Amino acid sequence: MLAFYINLDRRTDRRAFMEEQLVALGLDIQRLPATTPDTLTSNDIAPLSLAAIGETMSPVEVAISVSHFRAWKHMFDEGRDHVLVIEDDHKLSSRLAAFLTDFDWKKPDVGLLRLEAQLCSVRLRRWAEPGPLGTSLYMPVGYQTGAGAYIISADYARRILSSPKRFAMPVDDILYSPRSPFRDVKRIRCTVPGMAIFRWESSPEFDVPESILISDAQPSRGKRQQDEKKRSRPPLRERIGREILRLLRQLANGPKPAWYWLWSKRMVVPFADSGVSAQQSAVRRPG
């Protein structure tokens, strides 16, 4: 399978971290130099301008999205049906190579397969399809953050790249947010347990170098979010009115429909190498 890990030229520590894993796992995953705000081109964001996109995304977030989009375009250029994309701050499971070899991409019809573990509780459809190596494939119901490890099909990626709305929100939101204009929940699956993990800092046994945890994107993303709050913060009277209307709408709509509770469950998606089974990770709680 065509596969890339995204890595900034200056992050040689992360490159070494990834290459060490790939050698140990026997995986052939190519390095894709990450796009930066300085290396963005007009073709990357056409037909939009950086000024227009800047209303919803910081330049760093735009560059991150373009890095992912470039990986997808390589898939088209090479005539492949799927591509694996990994960000360079993820710990990979020892089972990943066998998982990729064993997965049947024609059954089920998967357009987007999320490989990340999720250490916080997320909501997934109650019933799962069998996956390779004893894993389970769940359809998402709620939102899962992050786009650090996933496989996307050519037709699913093409639908996103052909639209200027691909820059309506950061790439992880484009892929997984219920607000995304491209989210086709029937074609999204989440593998349980996960084959990669980002928040490994809660698991000391992974022994990841501390420098790997330093994010290049977070300062820019945090500033953009703060600026948005400042620009969009309405007067106190208007905020109170909005809150009253929100509460009234909730009362009018009543509780969530029965199918939401009957067809979904909360689950902490474990990392495949953590020794936690999918059954142990399932939790049932209101909310």
CATH 3.90.550 fits 2-215+260-283, yes or no: yes
Dist CA 91 CA 281 (whole Å): 19
What is the CA angle 226-230-231, rounded to 5? Answer: 115
- In terms of phi and psi (left: phi > 0; alpha: psi -120 to 50; beta: otherwise), the region of 250 is alpha
Nearest-CA neighbor of 124 among 271, 274, 260?
260
Q: What is the DSSP letter of 142?
A: S
Nearest residue to 4 (alpha-carbon basis) of 89, 100, 84, 91:
84
Helix or strand holding residue 248 (H, E): helix 236-253
pLDDT of residue 285: 33
Whole-angstrom distance, CA of residue 189 vs CA of residue 215: 27
Dihedrals phi, psi of 94, to nearest 5 degrees:
-65, -15
The encoded tokens of residue 81 equal 């049906």
Neighbours of 188 (CB within 10 A): 21
Question: CA 30 → CA 40, 86, 87, 201, distances in Å?
Answer: 21, 10, 12, 26
**Residue 287, pLDDT score:** 33
Give the model's pLDDT for residue 276: 47
Q: Which residue, chain included where needed, has tokens 């699913």?
A: 156
Q: Is 255 helix (H, G, I), strand (E, B) or coil?
A: coil
Name the DSSP letter for residue 48. Answer: S
The encoded tokens of residue 222 equal 């945090």
CB-based contact 174:180 (threshold 8 Å): yes
Spans in the chain with pLDDT lower than 70: 106-108, 199-209, 215, 217-234, 238-239, 242, 245-261, 275-287
Q: DSSP labels for 76-111?
A: HHTT-SEEEEEETT-EEPTTHHHHHHH--TTTTT-S
Tell me what percent of the chain is helix, strand and coil, each rounded to the nearest 5: 45, 20, 35
